Amino acid sequence: MKKIFLTLMLVLASLVIVACTEPEEANNGQRYDFSELRGEKETITVWIDDQNGEYMQKVIEAFNATPAGANIIVKHQHMGTVEAREKLKTFGLTGNGADIFQFPHDHLATAILEDLVYALPDDIKADVSERAHPLGLDIATLLYNESTGEFGPGSNAVEKLYAVPMSLESVGLYYNKALVETPAATYEEILEQGAIWNAATNTVDESGLSNAAKGYYYLGTSSHWADSYFIQHIYSAFGFQPFGENLDDPTNVGFAQAANALTWMVNSLKPVVTGQGNHNSAGAGANFVAGRIPYIIAGPWNIEEYKNATGLSFGIAPLPSVNGQQAKPFAGAQMAAIYKYSEHKEAAAEFLKFLMSDEAMQLQFDMKYKVPALKPELLPNINGFMDDELMVAISNQLSSAIPMPTIPEVQFYWGPGESMVISVWNTGTLPADAVTAAEVAYQALKNLGK
């Protein structure tokens, strides 16, 4: 009996040895992929500015409910829009970065030069173009020569869409409804009424001082009067916008075209908004929040503060014209792009396209209170948008806006532009001399940056 048992054990052992060796010889080392049968999903990482993650959780859930998103796992990590690019430079090639990252308009060209952004294929560009606001498309589209690293016309560059615009923003004329019945449509009205207001005795206290003496000037800005972003609407009324007709010619800024605007600003605007004070002498932000002044030029980023101000009821009006010429402010955008070295570009593209959907834009409006970067005719699809007085006002202002320049040289515009206004406003430099000095400063900075 023991012999029979021992014989059976030897037979079984030989079968185990054969079973362990035969498959390797039978398939000649070929590997079989059963991931489709197991329903294996692809994972992408997304860096979006969302501190508590509630907004992105809703977006991801909505994306996963679509056929395109059913087999894609989206991992969200909060990342501030300004720091995303720097972080991706550090972590991208290690595999610990993002497949999709968010950034503001003025980071696009730099991110491209840093080899971080994937130029979107033509089919995705076509899909995005069907829904995106023209301003958003302009901001996210660049002429770029990948071989030479040059932007703009004359560089044999190819026009490509590099990102998807998520939201748009622009400054507007915010007014205190308790002090303004019908918002002014022209700067001429503001200057006339402002002179009367400034000379009147203030009603905030019993000092007997005028509004101007108290610093309660009729019109203020939430920034300062040398901020080129805020005063572009004035520049445009006098025929100046930087970097040429399409805002993409880096050969020169064209500061000479700003001379007439500077003359008007120092002679007509300055007495009403700061008196004899410097470009930043009036605390307009605090005064507007406290209900002390009628007008302030501000942006959608100020809305939350103004809404929370006790007793303040405000609206947003179109920026006033100057000498019959329409004011055209800059339009900015928040955008999302695919990391150039992502190993999951197709899955990332599906999520990127979803960000332009009604579902994603609805969530952005509801939870982030931003103007969706959609064509105006699509905005009625966003529930509640057309009933929101402030959002509609910002959207209407965008109809006259110009896209922010996104060429790399724009970084050399802001400093000389600010110094130019300060020298005229504060020290009495002649506009003709100030614009020449600004152009020289720009060229020097540009050459240093090469």
Q: For residue 145, give the CATH number of its domain.
A: 3.40.190.10
C-alpha count within 13 angstroms, C-beta hemisphere, residue 15: 6
Same domain, 386 and 251: no
Same domain, 202 and 266: yes
33 pLDDT more than 60: no
| Total structural domains within the chain | 2
Same domain, 213 and 297: yes
Same domain, 158 and 109: yes
435 pLDDT more than 80: yes
Q: How much is the pLDDT for 6?
A: 42
Same domain, 319 and 226: yes
112 pLDDT more than 70: yes
* Six-digit token string for 283: 């605390």
Report d(CA 410, CA 32) in Å as an integer.
53
Percentage, residues of the chain above pLDDT 70: 90
Residue 45 binned pLDDT confidence (cut-offs 50, 70, 90): very high
Classify residue 18: in a domain, yes or no: no
Report d(CA 190, CA 296) in Å as an integer.
11
Contact indicator for 216, 275 with CB cutoff of 8 Å: no
Q: How much is the pLDDT for 21?
A: 43
- The boundaries of the domain holding residue 351 are 40-169+332-403
Same domain, 262 and 349: no
Same domain, 114 and 164: yes
Percentage, residues of the chain above pLDDT 90: 80
Same domain, 99 and 130: yes
Q: What are the phi and psi torsion angles at 33 (to 5°)?
A: -105, 110
Same domain, 343 and 440: no
Same domain, 226 and 306: yes
Q: How much is the pLDDT for 40?
A: 77
* 268, 270, 274, 278 alpha-carbon torsion, rounded to 10°: -160
Q: How much is the pLDDT for 19?
A: 42
Mean pLDDT on 333-349: 96
Mean pLDDT on 385-408: 96
pLDDT in tens, 50-96: 999 999 999 999 999 999 999 999 999 999 988 999 899 888 777 78
Classify residue 83: in a domain, yes or no: yes
Q: How much is the pLDDT for 24?
A: 41
Classify residue 19: in a domain, yes or no: no
Classify residue 361: in a domain, yes or no: yes
Classify residue 35: in a domain, yes or no: no
* Alpha helices by DSSP H, 215-293: 232-237, 259-264, 270-273, 284-289
Q: Which of 20-24, 364-368, 440-444 has the lowest mean pLDDT?
A: 20-24
43 pLDDT more than 60: yes
Classify residue 11: in a domain, yes or no: no
Contacts of 306 (CB under 8 A, 6+ apart): 174, 288, 289, 298, 312, 314
Classify residue 385: in a domain, yes or no: yes
* 255 against 34, higher pLDDT: 255
Chain-centre distance for alpha carbon 259: 29
Report d(CA 71, CA 40) in Å as an integer.
8
The DSSP bridge partners found for residue 168 are 333, 371
Q: How much is the pLDDT for 450?
A: 67
Same domain, 336 and 436: no
pLDDT in tens, 211-220: 999 999 999 9
Same domain, 254 and 320: yes
Q: Which of 137-146, 291-300, 421-430 has the lowest mean pLDDT?
A: 137-146
Classify residue 235: in a domain, yes or no: yes
